[in-house]
Amino acid sequence: MNANVSSRINLMRIVLISGIVFVHVPYDSANSPFSGANGLIDWLRVFLGDSLFRVGVPCLSAISGYLLFRRGLENFSYAKTMRTKALTVLVPFLLWNGAFLALVFLAQKNGIGFGYLPDVVDATPREMASLALALEAWPINLPLYFLRDLLLCLLLSPVLALLVIRYPRATLIALIAYAVLPLPNGILLKKSILFGFSVGIAVALHRIDLKAVDRHAGVIVLAMLSATLLLSIGLYLTGPVFPLWLDILRAMTALTGIVGSWALSEFLVRTSLGTRLAAGGGLSFWIFCGHYPLLLVFWMVWNRLAIDHYVLFYFAAPALAFAILVPSHAFVQRRLPGLHALLTGSRTSRHGSQKQLAQATAASVGYATRQR
């Protein structure tokens, strides 16, 4: 995996996770984007939240599967992988979700937060176990379902690897049908994660050249944007309850967005902003784990203020979340490195390595690097 591929993976992580923030901006029935009360702005909300950035979860899953087997099956150690992932995935999940669950419990004990989140105070032990560990349902920190399903994929990784080696087409066809058709989820909360993870494994084990799509990157990106644009129009006109055929099309568009997102990274990594974002260390993971609680707090405060212009909240809430998460990540990484390692699964990037990575990225795409 050369510097260009590594940088594009890091870049797409933070770009996709930043997009996921917009997916989770809260609203109530009076401010549904499908009401049409705000015209073009409501359609934009559908385009961003229900179409374009829905590619984030399967694409992030594909990255995880690829990185797990990028050195080949012969260098894969299941026991070592599970020990490592317990620290890099399970521990952060438990800390972020557990801390938010405790805060919600304290808030609801004092009469705050009811109606915005599940009832934690009166939850049964079984309900509390799901809120804390996502055993049967969504965790209290909703986006962390991705980490929960990722752990299941990691547990199944040897079986998935053997299947995509011996029966790649049949396996991926079966998994894409499972992901898009109205079939039971089984043990997963989000079916597209299993497909994306398996795609990443297939790319790694079959040694598919990740830069092969670059010569057609412009056409692929245009096709992805066109598909998500057309999809958003259909969703806007028929939502919030979509017909089955449109729901299947939405799932298909999200899955094919894996290729489109990778093609887009070929253009983004050439920019100075893209180069800086690619060296972000654990910032993307920090944003992923921390944005949902912040958005809910902003929503509760907004409703208390009784301001009637939801459009202002929609754009202000993500901006304020980034304004808090970016400096807080830098502060904790600098001042509390031990805590930062626990909360991000040791996803760190020192300044020196960031600079080297940025220079390698610039060189790999044909740009002159600056002298140190």
CA dist 365 and 271 (Å) reads: 10
Q: Helices in 69-120 by DSSP H: which ranges?
A: 78-85, 91-109
Which pLDDT band holds residue 346 (cuts at 50, 70, 90)?
A: confident
Instruction: Provide mean pLDDT across the span 362-370.
Output: 37
Instruction: Provide mean pLDDT across the span 248-275.
Output: 93
Q: What is the pLDDT of residues 85-96, one digit of tens each?
A: 999 999 999 999
Tell me: pLDDT of 280 over 90: no
Q: What is the pLDDT of residue 347?
A: 82
Q: What is the pLDDT of residue 279?
A: 80
Which residues are within 8 A (CB) of 323 and not within 5 positions of it... i.e. 6 or more apart? none
> In what helix (H) or strand (E) does residue 358 lie, and over which residues does it extend?
helix 351-364
The amino acid present at 92, given as its one-letter code, is: P
pTM: 0.90
The angle subtended at Cα 65 by Cα 61 and Cα 68, nearest 5°, is: 135
- Of 43-47, 304-308, 366-370, which range is least confident? 366-370
Q: What is the pLDDT of residues 178-187, one digit of tens each?
A: 999 999 999 9
| Sign of the C-alpha dihedral computed for residues 87, 333, 15 and 263 taken in this order | negative
Q: What is the pLDDT of residue 195?
A: 97
Q: What is the pLDDT of residues 283-318, one digit of tens each?
A: 999 999 999 999 999 999 999 998 889 999 999 999
- Whether 144 contacts 131, CB under 8 Å: no
Which backbone phi and psi does 188 adopt, to 5 degrees?
-90, 150
DSSP 3-state of 114? strand
Task: Find the radius of gyration of the CA atoms of the chain.
Answer: 21
Q: What is the pLDDT of residue 1?
A: 66
Total length of the chain? 372
Q: What share of the chain is helix, strand, coil (3-state, %, to 5)?
A: 75, 0, 25
- Of 63-72, 104-113, 357-366, which range is least confident? 357-366
Which pLDDT band holds residue 38 (cuts at 50, 70, 90)?
A: confident
Q: What is the pLDDT of residue 366?
A: 40
CA dist 149 and 153 (Å) reads: 6
